[in-house]
Amino acid sequence: MNPDLDALHPYPFEKLAALKARLSPPSDLAHIPLTIGEPQHAPYAAALEALHAHQAEFARYPATAGLPALRETIASWASQRFGLEGLDPESQVLPVNGTREAIFAFVQTALDRSRAAQVAVPNPFYQIYEGATLLAGGQPLYLDCTADNGFRPDFSAVPADTWRDVQLVFICSPGNPTGAVTPLDEFKQLIALADEHDFIIASDECYSELYLDEATPPPGLLQACAALGRHDYQRCVVFHSLSKRSNLPGLRSGFVAGDADLLTPFKRYRTYHGCAMSLPLQHASIAAWQDEAHVLANREAYREKFAAVTAELAPVMDFPTPEASFYLWPAVPGGDDIAFTQRLYEEMNVSVLPGSLMGRLGLNGVNPGSGRLRLALVAEVAPTREAAKRIRRLVERG
């Protein structure tokens, strides 16, 4: 067996299940999970209708590159959303089966195993960045995201000699679990570092359409490239998904876009990987990417939930003002996120994810997720508000 498998950490939800295994929550309170970031809003109906209408096409093999109509739809959406010029659907767009699959596969393609390979990742982070790196023969470089730096990686703090071995940098904006949004100028600064030190930037933007201020949608990496006049998107790729945008996590549909010189070998890898998206799913994806009304309604629903939860928790917990995504990242009174999580389940029958399970010891020897919780506000308003009330009662008990 591949010995690199032994380096993989259990997923946070496995660790959480172990923490809760011997606990008995109160039977008179319904369980409210705020753990997994799986949207509970209704999936976009027209996408499901398209899936049904094209179900006979399950009888056909799909091509790795995807339907031209899907690539053109994606290129049109991305160009309008991020102000891009000439995004080529033929060479700069590739449909994928969700961002997790694509991120994992891209790392296998991108790393050069013949030399030292570090992959910079935000810390805390979505664990696939780390697992993909280890299985590609690389080593993660954890860049702490703390309140002091706006819960974003501070790339300027990385020593020049460390950059020498960095082949790939992951950025997640809006961030999971923090919800922090990377400003356009920071994207530009990172692009300059990539030019200087010759590394690839991979921007995970799967939460980009869940933002609270309708007037300020989060910028993206390709948008920063366009602002710099870099319409070849050299060294840059972005990952997008319909899971959060259109409440279609089970569709497993997204795309990778950017530098054609990176996507060409990535497409070759995926051809051997055998992960082309089935044709009915591609037609459903076309329907979803072509409509914005349902996405606007989705954002409105999340705004309502953020307002309800903030009203309950702001008086008793400290957390960054939410900008985007559907997560809240509060600090735990007393600082012990594991103990608080166990008490919350045992006394209030609410499940949350301890922040320390999403982080690693950083450059300063501290886990930046410690002392915080990730609350996934994915359920409907009523149970989400009720969960916030129970969290508040536990905090006020002391």
Average pLDDT over residues 45-61: 97
Query: Residue 168: is its pLDDT beyond 90?
Result: yes
> Do 281 and 302 have their domain in common?
no
For residue 207, is pLDDT > 90?
yes
Residues 223 and 304 in one domain: no
Domain assignment present for 329: yes
pTM of the complete model: 0.96
Each residue of 312-321: pLDDT tens digit?
Answer: 999 999 999 8
Q: Which residues of 30-55 are buried (b: 16+ CB within 10 A; e: fewer)?
A: eebbbbebebebebbebbbebbeebe
Averaged pLDDT score across all residues of the chain: 96
- Domain with 68 in it: 59-291
Do residue 24 and residue 98 come from a single domain?
no
- pLDDT tens for each residue of 19-32: 999 999 999 999 99
Q: What does the pLDDT read at residue 361?
A: 93
Q: State pLDDT tens for residues 58-80.
A: 999 999 999 999 999 999 999 99
Give the span between the Cα atoms of 223 and 229, in whole angstroms.
Answer: 10
* Pair 212, 321 in one domain: no
Query: For the domain that residue 119 is a member of, what is the CATH number?
Result: 3.40.640.10
The residue out of 244, 267, 291 marking a domain boundary is 291
Do 164 and 308 belong together in one domain?
Answer: no
Q: Are 195 and 319 part of one and the same domain?
A: no
Give the domain CATH number at 369: 3.90.1150.10
Boundary residue ending a domain (291, 314, 349): 291
Examine residue 54 and state whether it is found in any structural domain, yes or no.
no
Q: Retrieve residue 294's tokens.
A: 């349902």
Residues 359 and 314 in one domain: yes
Domain boundary among 291, 324, 358: 291
Give the confidence band of 364 by pLDDT, cuts at 50, 70, 90. Answer: confident
Q: Give the closest residue to 379 by CA, choosing from 37, 29, 30.
A: 37
Residue 52 lies in a domain: no
Residue 268 lies in a domain: yes
* DSSP H stretches of helix in the chain: 12-20, 45-53, 68-82, 98-110, 128-135, 160-163, 184-197, 221-227, 242-245, 260-273, 279-289, 293-313, 337-348, 381-397
Q: For 167, how many CA atoms within 13 A lie in the half-sphere containing its CB?
A: 20
Please check whether residues 87 and 32 belong to one and the same domain.
no
Whether residue 322 has pLDDT greater than 90? no
Tell me: do 206 and 83 sit in the same domain: yes
pLDDT tens, position by position, 104-146: 999 999 999 999 999 999 999 999 999 999 999 999 999 999 9
48 lies in some domain? no
> Do 306 and 257 share a domain, yes or no?
no
The answer to whether residues 120 and 147 belong to one domain is yes
218 and 251 co-located in one domain? yes
Residue 21 lies in a domain: yes
Overall domain count for the chain: 2
